[in-house]
Amino acid sequence: MSVTYPDSRGRFGEYGGQFVPETLMAPLKEIDESLQAAMEDPSFIEAYHQALKDYSGRPTSFTYADQLSEYLGGAKIYLKREDLNHTGAHKLNNALGQALLAKRMGKEKIIAETGAGQHGVASATVAAKLGLESKVFMGEKDIERQQLNVFRMKLLGAEVIPVSSGNKTLKDATNEAIRFWVANCEDHYYLIGSVVGPHPYPKMVRDFQRVIGDETKDQILAEQGSLPNRIYACVGGGSNAIGMFYPFLEDEVELVGVEAAGKGVDTPEHAATITKGSDGIIHGSKTYLMQDEHGQITEPYSISAGLDYPGIGPEHAYLHASKRVRYESVTDDEALDALQLLSRKEGIIPAIESAHALAQAFKEVKDMDANQSIVINVSGRGDKDMSTIMNVLQEGE
């Protein structure tokens, strides 16, 4: 395919780049060079795909949501089932790829940041499988909110490091992971969880997640002999969305990224970075972010911890600026409604993150024709969200 960005400086148009302290330039270069060599090495690619198949259970299913399509009317609804991946979300695709790279680079220790704990669990999982030592940085506030995932990580042998700086959430965990990495880059590999951070991370994570879109393309062509009219995916940092969208960028398919509007984009409590944010630098990359007039980064809010991030991957900023992808936002309430609808009509309980993509699709699908089709990426399963959902729904009763 002819989409060859980012350029050698890691720029997607004006976004991306390497806005990092000088001390990080050497480790980033080491990763960039190792990644290029690995991606050109057939044995590395084979090992990655083999692990996806044997360990994670790929390819993931592609489900025609017949009950739901009939109920809502309009276009046919297909679901890409990333919830069926080992550990319950798309996160493992990337964690496996990067851990294999770390091992190839001779690094025996990995570090990772986590918000809700999904990427932390994926990292701890691959570290266990590949015999690597793992440290997961997690904000103290998130540790309190996600005790089950903290326990899962510990069970998998990871060390969970509580972060007490800043607001004690994902943004701060990421800062702290980067700070630790600067001091320990000689023997540690930083396994970042989304298409964010300095070059080459956004490109690397995309390339390890594009398997979602590649499979989807084969599956829909096998199913109906033509591409879908639209594809929906939720966007926090944006790794499941980029993974899904990237193989379709040059096709005539409308791509829709769905952000978290929290309690509403007109309230201070949301995480709708593209809808409400502006250009700036976060975690080493130029992109859209949520900030005040003085350039201080502000704290996002969403019921879904996986979308609760004040920035967005630089490639999304570029795809928004170039108008290739349409970005919408969905509130907590709308996402919860969609989550319940999918549960009842299809017997699939999605993650609250994924429910954002579902909610936007459900709003739009009714206005489409019966001979049209859409794909929604169900990026993860809802098991991790049971207590959150239970609390909200019982309150409402």
Backbone angles phi, psi at 145, to 5 degrees: -75, -25
> How many other CB atoms are there within 10 angstroms of residue 113's CB atom?
31
Cβ proximity to another protein, 193 vs 380, nearer residue: 193
Q: Which of 293, 367, 395, 397 binds another protein (CB under 8 A)?
A: 293
Q: Does 106 bind another protein (CB under 8 A)?
A: no
Q: Which of 6, 17, 213, 228 binds another protein (CB under 8 A)?
A: 17
What is the DSSP code string of 214-249? HHHHHHHHHHHSS--SEEEEE-SS-HHHHHHHGGGT
Interface segment toward another protein; rule CB under 8 A; list 86-94, 126-134, 154-162, 274-282? 274-282
Distances (CA, A) of 118 to 102, 150, 182, 244, 255: 20, 10, 24, 19, 25
Closest separation between CB of residue 183 and another protein, Å?
3
**Tokens 């060390």, located at residue:** 159
Q: Where are the alpha helices (DSSP H) in the chain?
A: 22-39, 42-51, 66-72, 91-104, 118-130, 140-145, 147-155, 170-184, 201-209, 211-224, 239-245, 273-276, 314-321, 332-346, 352-365, 386-396
Cβ proximity to another protein, 252 vs 292, nearer residue: 292
Q: Does 70 bind another protein (CB under 8 A)?
A: no
Q: Does 194 bind another protein (CB under 8 A)?
A: no
Closest separation between CB of residue 16 and another protein, Å?
11
Q: Does 9 bind another protein (CB under 8 A)?
A: yes
Which of 325, 319, 392, 323 is closest to 355 using CA atoms?
392
From CA 305, how far away is CA 91, in angstroms rounded?
A: 14
Closest separation between CB of residue 287 and another protein, Å?
11
Q: Which of 6, 12, 15, 18 binds another protein (CB under 8 A)?
A: 18
Interface segment toward another protein; rule CB under 8 A; list 95-103, 110-118, 176-184, 334-342? 176-184
From CA 343, how far away is CA 386, in angstroms rounded?
A: 12
Q: Position 365: which residue type? A: V
Closest separation between CB of residue 180 and another protein, Å?
9
Q: Position 100: which residue type? A: L
Q: Does 372 bind another protein (CB under 8 A)?
A: no
76, two tokens: 């046919």
Element counts in the chain: helices (H) and strands (E): 16, 14
Residue 13's contacts (CB-CB under 8 Å, 6 or more residues apart) are: 5, 318, 321, 322
Cβ proximity to another protein, 57 vs 295, nearer residue: 295
Q: Does 271 bind another protein (CB under 8 A)?
A: no
Cβ proximity to another protein, 44 vs 288, nearer residue: 288
List the x/- string, 156-175, binding to another protein by CB under 8 A.
---------xx----x---x
Cβ proximity to another protein, 313 vs 350, nearer residue: 313
In this structure, are residues 314 and 281 in contact, taking their beta carbons and an 8 Å threshold? no
Interface segment toward another protein; rule CB under 8 A; list 91-99, 133-141, 257-265, 279-287? 279-287
Closest separation between CB of residue 154 and another protein, Å?
25
Closest separation between CB of residue 23 and another protein, Å?
4
Q: Does 291 bind another protein (CB under 8 A)?
A: yes
Q: Which of 153, 178, 325, 359 binds another protein (CB under 8 A)?
A: 178
Q: Does 27 bind another protein (CB under 8 A)?
A: yes
Q: Which of 105, 128, 182, 321 binds another protein (CB under 8 A)?
A: 182
201, two tokens: 């991370």
| Strand, helix or coil for residue 104 | helix
Q: Which of 161, 281, 321, 392 binds another protein (CB under 8 A)?
A: 281
Closest separation between CB of residue 163 and another protein, Å?
11
- Active-site residue list: 91, 113, 379
**Tokens 């594809």, located at residue:** 231
Binding residues for another protein, rule: CB under 8 A, are 9, 17-23, 25-27, 165-166, 171, 175, 178-179, 182-186, 279-284, 289, 291, 293-298
